[in-house]
Structure 1
C-alpha cells in the first residue's frame, strides 16, 4: 500500500515552523545595515564588533567558567548516581527523585536554590551558579548514562569479580570503558544546557558577574540589533555542534555491544 504524499506535508510544515525563525535570525546576523528587521546586504561587521565589546567578552568568559565547572561536577555525580541506581537500587521512588531537577520548572528550581543559598548564608557569585547548574544538569547526565547502562554487558563485571578484582578495579577497568560514550554524551548535553541557561543563572549568580544569556537579556531590553543576532547565531552553532556530537557518541555506544557480539 502506497503512502499518500500529502502525509509528508504536516511533517515538513512542522520543521519549517521550528527552524524558520532560526534561519531568519542567522541570515539577519549578516546584515550590513543597522536594522535588525530590514536586510540591506551581506556583511560580517557585526561579528567583528562582538570581539571588541568588553561586556560580551566578559559574559563569554563567565559562561565558559560556569558551563565547564558545572559540566565536570554534573558528569562525575551524574555517572555515580546512574551506576548507583542501576546496580545497587531498584526503587522507582529513588529513580523519580533523581530525575526531579530535570522536570521541575526552572523558575521553581531557581527560587529554591536562591532561598537555600540565603539559608546557609552563601554569597552569590560564579561558584554559586556553577553549583546550581551542576544540580540542574546532573539529572540529564544520570538519565543518559542510565540508558547506556541498560545495554552494558554485566557478565564482564561478574567475571572481573570472580577473578578477584575489587569493586573499584571492576568499575575503572570494566564498567567505565563501557559507559564512556554515554558519559561523553551526557557531558556534552550538560555543557549545552549550562551554556544556554538563563533563569537559574539569573537568580543564583548575583549582581557582580553576568553570563552571556544574561548579557543578551539586558541588551534586548533596548531593542534587537544585528549584533545580538550575530551573538545568538554563534550560540546556536555551539549548541547544535554539542548536541550533534552527543548524539553521535550515543550511537557509537549503542553499536559497541553489537560489535563485541
Structure 2
C-alpha cells in the first residue's frame, strides 16, 4: 500500500513540477532544480535520519503516514526527473496550438500535453513503485510500532537465520523489480508520434 500510494502521489506532484519547470522561467529556477535533485544524490541513511529527526522535532507519530510521507519525499525527485525528460520530445507549440483551437489552458494540458508525456508518467510510476517497495533504510528509520514494510520485515526475519521464506521473498522482489524497471525503461525510450 505504501509503495503504490507513494508512487501515485509522487508522480502527480512530479508531473506538475516537471511541467512548471518546462513551461515557466522564474528567478531561482536553477537553484530549485538543484534542490530537487538532492534526494537523488543524498545517501539514504542521511535522508532516513533527517526525516526521523524532523518527525521527532514536530512531534509526528511514527507509523504508516510517516513512512508514506518519507517515500513520497524521496520519490518526487525521481518522478520529476523522469517526466522532465519527456518534455524534450514534445513540440513546444503543441499546447499553444490546442489553446488557439479553443481549448482552455487546463484542457490543453490534459488533452495535448498529458498524452504526449504519458510514457514518462507511466515510467515514473513504475520506478517510484520499485524504489518505494525496495526501500529499507528510510523505512527502517521512519516506521513506528505496527508499521512494517517488506524490506524491514525481511530484515527482522533474517536475524533468526535464513529460511526458505526469505529466499522466496527475495526472488519475487528481484523478479518484480527487474520487470518493472525494464518496462519503465522501454516506455521511457519510446518515441512520441507527432
User: TM-score higher than 0.5 here?
Assistant: yes
> 8 Å contact 1:149–1:179 — kept in the other structure?
yes
Spell out the pairing of 1:1-261 with structure 2 (5 A cutoff). Answer: 65-89=1-25, 91-252=29-190, 255-256=191-192, 259-260=193-194
Taking the aligned partners of 2:185 and 2:171, their CA distance within structure 1 comes to 21
Unaligned runs of 5+ in 2: none
CA-CA distance at 1:165 after TM superposition:
2.5
TM-score if structure 1 supplies the norm length? 0.70
- Report SS of the residue matched to 2:161: coil
- Runs (4 or more) in structure 1 with deviation over 6 Å come to none
Unaligned runs of 5+ in 1: 1-64
CA-CA distance at 1:161 after TM superposition:
2.2
Taking the aligned partners of 1:174 and 1:120, their CA distance within structure 2 comes to 42
Higher CA-based Rg: 1
Q: How many positions carry a matched residue from both structures?
A: 192
- Report SS of the residue matched to 2:37: helix
Q: Deviations over 1:213-239 (max 9, x none)?
A: 011111222322333111100101110
> 8 Å contact 1:106–1:200 — kept in the other structure?
yes
CA-CA distance at 1:93 after TM superposition:
1.2
Question: Which sits farther off after the overlay, 146-155 or 193-202?
Answer: 146-155
